[in-house]
Amino acid sequence: MELFKYMEKYDYEQLLFCQDKESGLKAIIAIHDTTLGPALGGTRMWMYNSEEEAIEDALRLARGMTYKNAAAGLNLGGGKTVIIGDPRKDKNEAMFRAFGRFI
- The H or E element that residue 29 is part of is strand 25-33
Indicate which residue of 5, 9, 80, 91 is catalytic: 80
Is the distance from CB of 2 to CB of 40 less than 8 angstroms? Answer: no
Has 26 been annotated as catalytic?
A: no
**Interior/surface letters 75-88, b for 16+ CB within 10 angstroms, e for the rest:** ebbbbbbbbbbeee
The DSSP 8-state label assigned to residue 23 in this structure reads: T
Torsion sign across C-alpha atoms 102, 75, 44, 8: negative
The residues carrying an active-site annotation are 80
